[in-house]
Amino acid sequence: MHNIHDESPQTTARAVLAFELARTWWSPHLAWGRATLNLYVEDKLHKATPGGTGGVKSITNHSPAASSSFMQPIKPRRALVLWEARFYSNRLKERESLEKMISMELFTNVSLVSAPTIFTVLAMLVGVLGYLYGPYWGVRKVPGPPVIPFVGHLPLMAKYGPDLFQILAKQYGPIFRFHMGRQPLVIVADAELCREVGIKKFKDIPNRSMPSPIQACPLHQKGMQDGPRCENTLVSLYQPSHLASLVPTMQSFVETATRNIDPSKEEEDITFSKISLALATDTIAQAAFGVNFGLSKPQSNSDSVNKIDGGGQDKNNDNKNDAVSKFTDQYVYSVAQVKMDLTGSLSIILGLLFPILQEPFRQILKRIPGTMDRKIERTNDNLSSRLDEIVEKRMKDNDRGSKDFLSLILNARESEKVSKKVFTPDYISALTYEHLVAGSATTAFTLSTTVYLIAQYPEVEKKLLAELDAFGPADQMPTAHDLQNKFPYVDQVIKESMRLYPVSPLIARETSSEVEIGGYVLPKEEQGTWVWFGVGVIAKDPKNFPEPNKFKPERFDPNCKEEKERHPYAFLPFGIGPRACLGQKFALQEIKLALIHLYRKYVFRHSPNMEKPLEFEFGIILDFKNGVKLRALKRTQKF
């Protein structure tokens, strides 16, 4: 048999290398294929055998004493075992000196085989990291918590909810970073910085940024993105004279909505947030479309609901009510699915993590039955179809006047004050829908939280009732002038409610050019830096509002020292500057009318079945997770 002691160290090293490679072959982590390595091992073993010429496909037994039966090819696996036994029995002392040589050759071979693969993997890794951290790099100097790859700070949002921004402001100061997945937001949580962003540097930060939940819904996106084009046209809708003309209509809807409250059932809960939403939707629908959805009417009276297109009486009341109910359900679902966390549809989640994948995946997912994206798409398609019907009918109406939002838009379009190429029918539908959302969900939220807070603070309720009773008899309806001047405490109660529960804790903006804010230079980048106002943080800053968690309407009394000394931009429930909400006076008038009418007849108490504190869902606006459950009591005492 061939004597291993006659082998050179180099030959032995090659044999050991072959064994090491073969043993490594069985590891599941090896990248290259089995066939290639097998040939490599055979070649190495043959070269290490005296007489080998390289490339021979078998290894033979060279022992002179071996019988012919042993002069057969030895399989590579058996050869490996033999070489292992010989090496560990005769060359244990040489192991240490050979390890370096083996390691170097092994590294060289691995490098040569895997170089293209390694390069490709590294290139992909660099590309992914660049995509994920590119937006971060431009605002890296702005303070903020450590960023978790892919998800950013969304886990913190899931843990703390909207209160997270207060926590971050306390830790990092009045300007800080929050990463919504890949996208960084620069949060401005200081009244003076808000004035700088919203007014002084408005030309550099004029746009509304579009987070992925908005981009997942073209109906929302189109209305929000292009809404500023027609702001001048819409201003007339909210002039004092027009608001005054809406008071009787609002009053009628409020009276109808209160019929859903039965004070005789004192132990029965009412979901006040649903009543508020029905009232607000009916009111804005009349103001926006000139139609009556009839959502506020009690079920027993629902047979008088007008058709959704607003024309005439329908003989098929059941079909008509079903259509209105279906429209409302679709509308509520559409708004509820626009979420700013990881509970939305798959395309929204992808948009938060990988914005580039959102639209392609949305186009795929909306075609797959059972997915949330498909349901949202079908809901929005149905809403669009119904709105298109309303717009088409009104476009054919030659005597539409200027009584509502839709009339103003159509009149402006036909008078060529705005471009017909921009104000297409589908665009008008989207804009009208956005008007519906802005004027219903937000108003309903504020009305619900106001009644919830009044029920929690008896001293506030007593003072409120005294002001209402002092106005006059219960059947005396206030005029627009009365609403402006004769209910100061009601004003203060509403403002304090909006301070404690802002319907939009964050207000979105986006830079159009490089700009410096608070000592930090924010780049424009490809789509602009997102700069958001932390209005919820500012509203609970003890510097602006002492005892910030206490419901104290008197802090908004014009004669109060706190009110006089407060920064003028510490309270921004409707935004700031040219992009502030156009409909704020409309909303306040509606909420005030509702409170006056409700508290002239009833008082409310918290239901024992309602959670404390209130739980919210965080979308483009705040919404109640479980609604506001109250119990109504008929008033028996005058103040």
The single-letter code of the amino acid at 166 is Q
- Both 330 and 456 in one domain: the answer is yes
Question: Which range has the worst mean pLDDT, 182-191, 228-237, 307-316, 355-364?
Answer: 307-316
One domain, residues 397 and 490 = yes
Of residues 620 and 171, more confidently modeled = 171
What phi, psi does 447 have (nearest 5°)? -60, -40
Domain final residue pick, 90, 120, 150: 120
Task: Please indicate, yes or no, whether residues 92 and 210 belong to a single structural domain of this protein.
Answer: no
End-to-end Cα distance, the chain:
118
CB atoms within 10 A of CB 258: 19
Taking residues 247-264, report their average pLDDT.
87
pLDDT over 90 at 294, yes or no: no
**323 to each of 337, 373, 523, how far by Cα in Å?**
21, 23, 49
Tell me the C-alpha to C-alpha distance, in Å, between residue 383 and each of 213, 388, 390: 18, 8, 11
Q: β-pairing, 175-180 with 183-188?
A: antiparallel
- pLDDT over threshold 90, residue 101: no
Do both 465 and 558 map to the same domain?
A: yes
Whole-structure pTM value: 0.76
Cα distances from 595 to residues 185, 245, 420, 441, in angstroms, run 37, 19, 41, 17
Same domain, 590 and 460: yes
**HEC states along 125-182?**
HHHHHHHHHHHHHHCCCCCCCCCECCCECHHHHHHHHHHHHHHHHHHHCCEEEEEECC
491 shares a domain with 588: yes
Q: Quick one: 93 and 210 in the same domain?
A: no
- Which residue among 120, 147, 164 closes a domain? 120
The Cβ of residue 314 has, within 10 Å, a number of other Cβ atoms equal to 17
**Within a domain: 418:** yes
Tokens of 69: 């039966």
- 148 assigned to some structural domain: no
Q: What is the pLDDT of residue 128?
A: 78
Q: Give the whole-angstrom CA distance, residue 426 versus residue 387.
A: 9
Averaged pLDDT, 418-446: 78
How many Å apart are CA 352 and CA 618, to the nearest integer? Answer: 14
Residue 30 pLDDT grade (very low, low, confident, very high; cuts 50, 70, 90): very low
In a domain, 171, yes or no: no
Three-class SS of residue 533?
strand
Instruction: Indicate if 565 and 443 belong to the same structural domain.
Output: yes
- If one compares 487 and 43, the residue with the highest pLDDT of the two is 487
Is residue 334 one of the residues assigned to a domain? yes
Q: What percentage of the chain exceeds 90 in pLDDT?
A: 33
CA distance 31 to 218: 45
Residues 205 and 108 in one domain: no
DSSP element (H, E) containing 603: strand 602-606
Work out the average pLDDT over 507-528.
Answer: 88
The answer to whether residues 252 and 400 belong to one domain is yes
How many CB atoms within 10 Å of residue 168? 23
Whether the pLDDT of residue 59 is over 50: the answer is no
Q: E strands along 495-535, which residues? A: 507-510, 515-517, 520-522, 530-533
Whether 381 has a pLDDT exceeding 80, the answer reads yes
Q: Does the annotation flag 194 for ligand binding?
A: no
Orientation of helix 372-395 relative to helix 218-226, angle to 10°: 50
In this structure, what CATH number is given to the domain that contains residue 454? 1.10.630.10
Asked, for residue 535, whether it belongs to a domain, the answer is yes
Is 377 among the domain residues? yes
Structure confidence at residue 3 as a pLDDT band (50, 70, 90): very low
11: containing domain: 4-120
Low-confidence winner among 123-127, 383-387, 533-537 (lowest mean pLDDT): 383-387
C-alpha to C-alpha distance for 96 and 94, rounded to whole angstroms: 6
Considering the domain architecture, whether residues 446 and 590 belong to the same structural domain is answered as yes
Question: Mean pLDDT over all residues of the chain?
Answer: 77
Last residue of a domain, one of 68, 94, 120: 120
Domain count, the chain: 2
Together in a domain, 385 and 297: yes
User: Of 1-10, 296-305, 439-448, 491-500, where does the model show the most confidence?
Assistant: 491-500
Q: How far is CA 128 from CA 122, 349, 486, 489, 540, in A?
A: 10, 18, 61, 56, 39
Tokens (6 digits) for 604: 């409310």
Least trusted range by pLDDT, from 20-24, 29-33, 88-92: 29-33
Domain assignment of residue 226, yes or no:
yes
Q: Is residue 31 part of a domain?
A: yes
DSSP codes, 443-461? HHHHHHHHHHHHHH-HHHH
CB-based contact 589:442 (threshold 8 Å): no
Partners of 617 in the beta sheet? 623
